[in-house]
């Protein structure tokens, strides 16, 4: 089992609130993602069993939603918004800065498995651009100094 007891219990509780259990699929994927950090076939099977829906339905839904990585990532998944409002305030240059600081290219993971860097579509922080999301947390109104500090703190925590 990849999913722990807490996750399974949470999924079951959530799914039981809806008039139809199938509605519990997306919440279950979210719960699994928060526990594991990515999703895979084994997890779909466990979810299907946990909330009592067909496996194919879980797998189908999961492939549609881009928010869930389908492969393991570094401990910290850095997602930089590259959409228009952020781009106008230097999002492309923020990505380059992170590439340089981490010594990787966009789409890659650092050797110590700490950071994965990707860029994503608008995250709803357009008036606090440029911004990035690391795992579930938002970091807004970014500057070079702020990015330095954030990375330092994450490294220290790891």
Partner 1 sequence: MTFYSPVITNAAEVAGSDKLHLFRYVEDANQTKIETYESHGGYGTWRKVLTTKKPDDVIAEVKASGLRGRGGAGFPTGMKWGFIPKDSPKPRYLVCNADESEPGTCKDRVIMERDPHAMIEGMAIAAYAIGCHLMFVYIRGEFGHCIETVDKALQEAYAKGHLGKNVYGSGYDLDMIVHSGGGAYICGEETALLNSLEGEKGMSRIRPPFPAIEGLYACPTIVNNVETLTTVRHIMERGAQWYRTMGTEKSPGSKIFSVSGHVKRPGNYEVELGFSLKKLIYDPQYGNGILGDKKLKGVIPGGASTPFLTPDQINVGLDFESMTSVGSMLGSGAVIVFHEDTCIVWAILKLIHFFRHESCGKCTPCREGTGWLEQIIRRIEHGGGKPGDIEKIEDICGNILGRTICPLGDAAVMPIQSAVKHWRDEWQYHIDHGKCLVPTRFEFV
Q: How far apart are CA 60 and CA 58, in angstroms?
A: 5
What residues between 85 and 114 interact with ligand FES by CB under 6 A?
85-86
Output the CA–CA distances (angstroms, integers) from residue 75 to 20, 106, 111, 112, in the order listed: 35, 16, 11, 9
**Shortest Cβ 40–partner 1 spacing (Å):** 16
**Shortest Cβ 92–ligand FES spacing (Å):** 12
State which of residues 104, 118, 126, 150 lies at the interface with ligand FES (CB under 6 A).
Answer: 126
Q: Is 66 annotated as a binding residue?
A: no
DSSP string of 108-136? -B-TTS-EEEEEES--S-GGG-S-EEETT
Is 81 near ligand FES (CB under 6 A)?
A: yes
Q: How far apart are CA 129 and CA 37, in angstroms?
A: 25
Q: How far apart are CA 109 and CA 18, in angstroms?
A: 38
Q: Is 147 annotated as a binding residue?
A: no
Residues 6+ apart with CB under 8 A from 48: 54, 55, 57, 58
**Shortest Cβ 137–ligand FES spacing (Å):** 14
Where on the chain is the footprint of partner 1 (CB under 8 A)?
Answer: 17-20, 22-27, 29-30, 53, 57, 60-61, 64-68, 82-85, 87-94, 97, 121-130, 133, 136-138, 140-144
What residues between 34 and 63 interact with ligand FES by CB under 6 A?
none
The annotated binding site is made up of 81, 86, 122, 126
List of residues contacting ligand FES (CB under 6 A): 81, 83-86, 122-126, 129, 131
């Amino acid at each position: 089992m990849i999913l722990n007891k807490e996750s399974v219990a949470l999924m079951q509780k959530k799914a039981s609130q809806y008039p139809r259990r199938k509605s519990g699929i997306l919440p279950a994927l979210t719960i699994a993602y928060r526990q594991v950090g990515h999703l895979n076939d084994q997890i779909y099977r466990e979810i299907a069993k946990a909330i009592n829906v067909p496996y194919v339905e879980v797998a189908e839904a999961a492939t549609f939603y881009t928010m869930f990585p389908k492969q393991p990532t570094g401990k910290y998944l850095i997602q930089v918004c590259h959409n228009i409002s952020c781009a106008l305030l230097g999002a492309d240059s923020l990505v380059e800065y992170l590439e340089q600081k981490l010594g990787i290219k966009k789409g890659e993971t650092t050797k110590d498995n700490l950071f994965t860097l990707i860029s994503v579509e608008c995250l709803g922080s357009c008036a606090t651009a440029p911004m990035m999301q690391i795992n579930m947390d938002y970091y807004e109104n970014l500057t070079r100094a702020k990015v330095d500090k954030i990375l330092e703190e994450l490294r220290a925590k790891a």
